[in-house]
Structure 1
């Protein structure tokens, strides 16, 4: 202790005595605590506190050495009568960085938290687009249609979409008309929905229909000259559709309120019209100013 006190006073005459008193006070506190704490758990806590105190002492010693080096450099600069700025003292090869204290650990934890927040912002910026280009809308021809065997409010259609085999579609197309009138007609279908079982029948696509608040329903019609498999596109929203819409993302539910028929009967998404390239626009047969479902 005497040699440490002498070294501290020699290194820093101004603060050495105060630092030594700090060490003595903490040493007394630790000694008293050691006598009072008898349990193994308290002894372990004491060892942890001793390690922290040792780290703090090492950190203070390094700070004192750095302060002494700066003073030595300033003194040498005064005797050489040079006007250039003194260079910082070089760190010796055997110098070791100060051990991390509790403050350093808190700083690292805060840094990690800031990094996590930045990572979250980055994820938000990388979120996929949510617009109509993610929908795989295609022209299909209804081959057959029949009542659903287990649901009075549903019907089942077989639709040719230009693929190797027709798709089965379950829809709510039971209204004041004859289902047989739909056979052979063209329609627009959402083809990248996940196949699901509706009252025992697997539905592999979704028929788009125009609907008014008073319950009038019509199938959305593609332009004349369209063929099964033709894709419906949007001039302002280029891009390839998803292979399959994920139910958790609820893309269709997010986009559906912006799918409407305007005052001219033309289907559009936020003012951008449904189009089959080279063939024309998709329309409601007779309805205007209604929604698309």
Structure 2
């Protein structure tokens, strides 16, 4: 940086003007511009290093929080567990009568104790069961509350896919059936609502973004093995998300601010997709984002909408 600043020395400018009176001033302006760009590049690199450092610290904090949550649950479980019962306090344990003194000619009569309340309750329960009565329900025990599992976009398995072919669904006018290559041994069949809006012959060979860890389900008789992500506006304009140039089938879509591995398969009961979808949007620049963080294919760029802006992703 000091060397770049030394280029602004008046003596250097005078020397350039002497060597080349016509272009010396332009050369000096070029050198100044290059020095400023070098300084901005150094500042940008320092900012990226600081951001990566914060991400590593954030992951470490998440791990520490998870360990503390497990320790808290273990302490609460120990605190709510009932204490062990001693044999001497059990009313059902028979007690031996005291031994008679040596040489006694007559035994001391023992007094019969009335049955305890627990014995009555046990006998009443047996009588109810013998008469076909309903067994009393056990009282519910409150379980210790833990922290909610992470619910963010890192749980989605988003990949780049190439559409090999498309046809209209035989049983639904608004649906289409696509065969998509996502970098696996065989293509996946995807059922999507594109039949009336998009010309299917124009989709052949196009790259798009797919959600690949949804559970396979049958839609109108055809099994769908993934979900095609598209953006749409309020006036029903629909476009498929476009990956960055240079993408290939099977490339992962990741998010800089949300590191983590995706679920093997999204559970329908957890409704992860429904919880995340409101935060999946195309911004004013046409970039696909989650909470302001772009859909990124590492080393290749960001996913975008071909022409739509400020719309939802579904």
Q: Could you state the TM-score of these two structures normalised by the residue count of structure 1?
A: 0.60
Distance 2:313 2:119 in 1: 70
1:260 to 273, 281, 284: 281
Q: Residue 146 of structure 1 aligns with which residue?
A: 167
Distance 1:244 1:50 in 2: 51
Q: Which consecutive unaligned segments of at least 5 residues does structure 2 have?
A: 1-113, 121-138
- Report matched runs for 1:150-169 at 5 Å: 150-169=171-190
- The SS at the match of 1:169 is strand
Shift of 1:176: 3.7
- The SS at the match of 1:254 is helix
Shift of 1:128: 1.8
Structure in which a larger fraction of residues adopt helix = 1
Q: Residue 212 of structure 2 aligns with which residue?
A: 191
Shift of 1:48: 2.5
Write the deviation string for residues 182-214 of structure 1: whole angstroms up to 9, x where unpaired: 000000000000000000100000000000011
Mark the CA change 1:186 to 1:120 in structure 2 (over 3 Å): closer, same or farther. Answer: same
Q: Residue 116 of structure 2 aligns with which residue?
A: 48
Alignment length (residue pairs): 183
Write the deviation string for residues 80-114 of structure 1: whole angstroms up to 9, x where unpaired: xxxxxxxxxxxxxxxxxxxxxxxxxxxxxxxx98x
- The SS at the match of 2:299 is coil
Shift of 1:267: 0.5
1:219 maps onto 2:287 in alignment: no
Q: Which consecutive unaligned segments of at least 5 residues does structure 1 have?
A: 1-45, 53-111
1:209 maps onto 2:230 in alignment: yes
Mark the CA change 1:49 to 1:243 in structure 2 (over 3 Å): closer, same or farther. Answer: closer
Distance 2:290 2:195 in 1: 26
Distance 2:312 2:165 in 1: 26
Shift of 1:121: 1.0
Q: Residue 128 of structure 1 aligns with which residue?
A: 149
2:290 to 258, 269, 273: 269
Give the 4+ runs in structure 1 shifted more than 6 A.
none
Shift of 1:271: 0.6
2:304 to 283, 286, 292: 283
Mark the CA change 1:236 to 1:147 in structure 2 (over 3 Å): closer, same or farther. Answer: same
- The SS at the match of 1:146 is strand
Shift of 1:140: 0.1
Mark the CA change 1:50 to 1:222 in structure 2 (over 3 Å): closer, same or farther. Answer: closer
Q: Residue 247 of structure 1 aligns with which residue?
A: 268
Shift of 1:49: 4.7
